[in-house]
Amino acid sequence: MVSNFFVSSNIMFGKDSVKELPAMLKQYGAENVMIVYDNGVKMAGIADQVLETLKEVDVNVVIFDKVLPNPTNELVEEAAKLALNEKIELFIAVGGGSSIDLTKAVNILMTNPGPIGQYGGIGNVKNDVLPLIAIPTTAGTSSEITNVVALTDTVAVCKYVIIDNKLTPNNVIIDPEFTKTMPASVTAATGMDAVTHAVESYISNMATPLTEYNSLKGLEILYNNLPKVVADGTDMEARERMMLGCIVTGFGFSNANLGLVHGIAHTLSAHFHLAHGMANASVLPYVMEFNAESCPEKMVELAKAIGLSVSGEIDKDKYLLSNELKKLIKTLGIKTLSKQGIKEKDFEMLAEDVIKEPVLNFNPRQNITKQQVLEILKKAL
């Protein structure tokens, strides 16, 4: 069987790796550079650290610091207008998935006509984009090394993705020190986002031996270190391992795609502005329980990857992972849907939108019905 595995980014990994930024910029010879981040990155002092390194290079720096969670089409268009006016030649995205995804989307509009919404789907970006350097501050989305952009359409009230190999950042600087200021709740939610990526990509019907290896290894690393960093945010060895797990997992899911968990999470974020990682974590165990019927052998392999003891009875062992994930989200303090403000009266509307999600095409269990989604949501309430 022929399969494709795409990896593009040049990754600089480790403590103080941000010091390599000036040398990277000199390679491109850009004069006008835009740096993109949110208020949290600014308040944590991370933006200032990055800006300080830019003083070593003779470039004109333009700042866009209005990034919000679940970035919208309107925010992309606003940032793109500024970038076009300033004749930006290179982007630096600093932050979590929202900052990096917004920057990727803006980059599309530098060399392709708007509006941004027309590029939803796979392979719809016609022209090559400008150089992009990504500096992640969370261990969760893997956006820094993937070809995926997730945006919110406030008119259609949905979250959609743009997938194109042109969008993968050229260079990535991964400094675990930049994750040290994340509060425990954000560490838990973003970490569970990465766990979701590992699990969903492994059981995806697009998975290949290469993606499966990355998904299993990524899950092992994340599972063994996430409780440590949530309990002690100063554990820098565990922080570094989380960043490593995120990268390894990203290589897998960007090639294998995701499934029903993300279909539900996209809908929750679009309608109720739930943080993406928290939305994923809330429903992950129950979707895995649902999917176990379609891929029992893979569920057992996932259980083995995190050290769970299997009995050899597949009808029992296929639920080991989902049961362990239920324990894990409780340990990490992941909120139930009801504690995030979701009410049972909202389920009908949510379920109707979930079954329209394109990402369901990659889920191992197909022909998902509205009633089945309702049952999952009730368990997660």
Give the CATH number for residue 67: 3.40.50.1970
4 found inside a domain: no
Rounded to the nearest 5°, which phi and psi values hold at 34? -110, 130
Domain end, chosen from 179, 212, 239, is at 179
Number of domains the chain contains: 2
- Alpha-carbon distance 327 to 257, whole Å? 26
Q: What is the pLDDT along the chain (381 residues), one digit of tens a residue?
A: 667 777 788 999 999 999 999 999 999 999 999 999 999 999 999 999 999 999 999 999 999 999 999 999 999 999 999 999 999 999 999 999 999 999 999 999 999 999 999 999 999 999 999 999 999 999 999 999 999 999 999 999 999 999 999 999 999 999 999 999 889 999 999 999 999 999 999 999 999 999 999 999 999 999 999 999 999 999 999 999 999 999 999 999 999 999 999 999 999 999 999 999 999 999 999 999 999 999 999 999 999 999 999 999 999 999 999 999 999 999 999 999 999 999 999 999 999 999 999 999 999 999 999 999 999 999 999
221 found inside a domain: yes
133 found inside a domain: yes
DSSP label at 224? H
Nearest alpha-carbon partner for 128 in 306, 8, 280:
8
- Alpha-carbon distance 175 to 208, whole Å? 30
In this structure, are 159 and 195 located in the same domain? no
224 burial (CB, 10 Å; 0-12 / 13-18 / 19+) is middle
- What's the pLDDT score for residue 1? 62
In this structure, are 217 and 175 located in the same domain? no
In this structure, are 157 and 262 located in the same domain? no
- Angle of CA points 379, 324, 247, to nearest 5°: 105
In this structure, are 323 and 298 located in the same domain? yes
5 found inside a domain: no
pTM above 0.85, yes or no: yes
1 found inside a domain: no
Domain end, chosen from 179, 205, 228, is at 179
3 found inside a domain: no
In this structure, are 282 and 153 located in the same domain? no
In this structure, are 173 and 195 located in the same domain? no
- Alpha-carbon distance 271 to 39, whole Å? 23
DSSP-derived pairing of the beta strands 171-174 and 132-136: parallel
In this structure, are 175 and 193 located in the same domain? no
- Alpha-carbon distance 26 to 79, whole Å? 24
371 found inside a domain: yes
In this structure, are 227 and 376 located in the same domain? yes
In this structure, are 173 and 207 located in the same domain? no
Domain end, chosen from 146, 179, 212, is at 179
> Residues 6 or more apart from 303 whose CB is under 8 A from it?
310, 317, 320, 321, 324
In this structure, are 113 and 234 located in the same domain? no
Judge whether 320 and 303 are in contact, CB under 8 Å: yes
- What's the pLDDT score for residue 78? 98
- What's the pLDDT score for residue 2? 65
Block residue for tokens 């940032």: 79
- Alpha-carbon distance 249 to 364, whole Å? 18
Give the CATH number for residue 217: 1.20.1090.10
In this structure, are 207 and 347 located in the same domain? yes
Can you spell out the DSSP letters for 15-83?
A: TTGGGGHHHHHHHHT-SEEEEEEEHHHHHTTHHHHHHHHHTTS--EEEEEEEE-SS-BHHHHHHHHHHH
Q: How many CB atoms lie within 10 A of CB 148?
A: 22
In this structure, are 344 and 241 located in the same domain? yes
Q: Where are the alpha helices (DSSP H) in 257-361?
A: 260-272, 276-291, 296-305, 314-317, 320-332, 347-354
143 found inside a domain: yes
Phi/psi region, residue 46 (left: phi>0; alpha: psi -120 to 50; beta: rest), is alpha
Rounded to the nearest 5°, which phi and psi values hold at 36? -120, 130
Judge whether 137 and 41 are in contact, CB under 8 Å: yes
Name the residue range of residue 58's domain: 10-179
